[in-house]
Structure 1
């Protein structure tokens, strides 16, 4: 008797946040180990990858949503279909934290479940000299008031990116045996050798 259908596990991770905070950059760093410094506007993209761990097939879907949210119906559908949510802000953009707060309210309203997995990510941690959002303030709100998880990350420097996805997957109640797949992800995903970020790029606080 085949257990393929029973053993197949699927989870959808949804990345949300204001425009330009680095949602796509975090996803591309995880999937392809690449970093594109130029911001490109995202409408909506769904990435999907199958892992097989100890005989269990696991499909991880990663939804990259638009930061400008021109279509409320699309946003609502993304929330309805999501299993765990990454709410991303940029540490050099105080307004992007307010967007995270309103998105969390909307997720809880649509899901009607205060235990919906939410991970709040302060991206662009490499721009510490430009910081406008104290980590301690967000940590207090997210972990004490909301009982959610908070991490700071840098897609540019590949800091805490794997940890972000590991936390999302753990909160989505995937089998614990999935965790080795995270460590092996760069063996299973093709490495993009055509692009290398410029080594002489310096941090800048100017808004272009």
Structure 2
């Protein structure tokens, strides 16, 4: 674990169905819940574990879904991460109602060497938007397996354009070789989530603050 990390690393596993640990509970500015979504085999588990432990593990049990808890420092502030490494069931890319309701933000992952995974990711984004009813959603798009660029099926420009349509950050990374950019991807999403929470909090404070003043004045 890096020098900037603090606290505990823990994981929970599930084999599918409604998950007790995915019950939605409002998170504070110092907490962030991230769901990693994408097709089977794109490297969701490798990315999640690389971010949390700084180690690369090549093989994972794809029949399970894991949630990791991790505390680290982002921009000088301690942040408590919960990272859900989703399982893709029948090519749903982990996009299920309990997952979408639970998360504060989403890492959308495709493999640079699989055009199918990139096309599927665009369907993932549509499902996320439909569930969140068009609300602004903290997202980061990751093109994984940059170490296999000679086998590339998705250009960097395509990934960048897709992210620009969502108004979100985009990174090409290698979970096996590139811990710095993997970490930056998760930290970037964390910043988006914190900013979103602050803007939402300010909005509700304005609305309910004004409502409260009207009640007092009456």
**Common fold, TM-score beyond 0.5?**
yes
**Structure 1 position 73, deviation (Å):** 9.7
What is the alpha-carbon distance in structure 2 between the residues aligned to residue 101 and residue 53 of structure 1?
29
**Structure 1 position 9, deviation (Å):** 2.7
Contact in 2 for aligned 1:126/1:157 (Cα 8 Å): yes
**Structure 1 position 59, deviation (Å):** 2.3
Question: Residue 9 of structure 1 aligns with which residue?
Answer: 30
**Structure 1 position 40, deviation (Å):** 3.0
What is the alpha-carbon distance in structure 2 between the residues aligned to residue 73 and residue 93 of structure 1?
18
- How many residue pairs get matched? 169
Question: Residue 148 of structure 1 aligns with which residue?
Answer: 168
Q: Which of the two has higher C-alpha Rg?
A: 2
2:62 to 41, 51, 66: 41
Contact in 2 for aligned 1:120/1:151 (Cα 8 Å): yes
What is the alpha-carbon distance in structure 1 between the residues aligned to residue 73 and residue 188 of structure 2?
19
Higher mean C-alpha displacement, 92-101 vs 154-163: 154-163
**Structure 1 position 123, deviation (Å):** 0.3
1:22 to 35, 43, 47: 43
Structure 2 unaligned blocks of 5 or more? 1-26, 197-218
Question: Residue 137 of structure 1 aligns with which residue?
Answer: 158
Q: Say which structure, 1 or 2, has more relative contact order (CA 8 Å, 6+ apart).
A: 1
What is the alpha-carbon distance in structure 2 between the residues aligned to residue 73 and residue 53 of structure 1?
27
TM-score (norm 1): 0.72
CA gap 1:7/1:53 in 2 versus in 1, 3 angstroms: farther
Query: In the TM superposition, what are the counterparts of 1:62-141 in structure 2 within 5 Å?
Result: 62-69=83-90, 75-141=96-162
Structure 1 unaligned blocks of 5 or more? 1-5, 176-208
TM-score (norm 2): 0.68
**Structure 1 position 39, deviation (Å):** 4.4
**Structure 1 position 166, deviation (Å):** 1.0
CA gap 1:109/1:130 in 2 versus in 1, 3 angstroms: same
Helix, strand or coil at the partner of 2:80: strand
